[in-house]
Amino acid sequence: PAREAGTIRTSTMATLLLLALLVPAFVHHAGAFSAGDSTIRDRRGRSGASRHDCRRPSTTLGATAPSHRGGSIPPLPSVRAAVIVPGFLTGKSEFMPLARSLTDMGIPSVVVPMPNWHWLPCLGGRSMRPMLERIDFAVRHLAGVAGELDDFERTTVEGIEKSLEESLERSDDRKKKGGETTDPQLLIPNFSYNLVDCYQDFRNNPGGVLEVGGSAEVDSYPLWIPKGDFPAAPEPTGRVALIGHSAGGWICRAYLSDRNYGGRSYSGHDLVHSLITLGSPHGNAPGPAFKGVEWVNRERMDDGGAGGVRALA
């Protein structure tokens, strides 16, 4: 029964995510995170022609990405594929069932390739630079192989208007015929990070209760580069979606920003077209653990600060 319950929960979560990614009404800025009170604003797109041209077949969400402030990457097509970011003290293994469910439904999905102990340097509300490096690694590699995702069944722009039921029926038919969906996780290489690296990061990662580096405030973090050997990704060929669970959700917001976080501006909006967060703490609260949340809440996603990324919490 426990195994069946887990399967049902994974299937339900995957179905909800599929709905969020496919519903035509979920257009640019459909739901945006706000600063200050950290509420969610719903704003429908303007009437008239759709931002997406549904008349021509395509494996992308739109022709090109919107222009970004300070972006160094040329506009890229939006690919229906996703990177899943694990929540606090969880890792790749916990979210592989969700990734496989989404892939079976036509959205090739991968999980940031990390075990749960990689969170240890971030304990006590310290800098999330180690996690941001891992998110950036996974996003860049998936964006770099976007052209290879034609090997997987995906929903085209024409298919956006098809019902979820039809998508699930296609997935069931494929399983009944014995067809196996290739795992897109194989397209993301592993990176090198050992216990010595973790110990050094734990000692030097700034912020938190102990105010390592002199302050718990994000803008006062000293310049510091987390350990780890991350293989370079190929040039990006498309923008992907981000799905963040728990703390992974607000950390994704920091990744999308152009602002400097602990010595680096990630500007993830260049490579991401949509963000979905699941059970993420977006509200300000007292204590060092929420200094990062306060930092992301100084920027509204619908004020253009996140480069026009669609958002849903």
Confidence of residue 291 (pLDDT cuts 50, 70, 90): very high
> Of 15, 36, 73, whose CA–CA distance to 298 is shortest?
36
Residue 14: the pLDDT is: 63
- The structure tokens 């029964």 sit at 1
Quick check: 109 and 20 in contact, CB under 8 A?
no
Average pLDDT across the chain, whole number? 76
Confidence of residue 227 (pLDDT cuts 50, 70, 90): very high
270 by Cβ neighbours in 10 Å (0-12 / 13-18 / 19+) ranks as buried
Q: Are strands 40-42 and 31-33 parallel, antiparallel or unpaired?
A: antiparallel
- The structure tokens 């022609």 sit at 49
Residue 32: the pLDDT is: 42
Measured on CA atoms in the order 139, 309, 257, 285, is the torsion positive or negative? negative
Q: How many beta carbons lie within 10 A of that of residue 87, not counting itself?
A: 21
Bridge partners (DSSP) of residue 212 are: 207
Of the candidate ranges 6-10, 89-93, 219-223, the one whose mean pLDDT is the lowest = 6-10
Of the candidate ranges 22-26, 50-54, 96-100, 254-258, the one whose mean pLDDT is the lowest = 50-54
pLDDT at 46 over 50: no
Confidence of residue 168 (pLDDT cuts 50, 70, 90): low
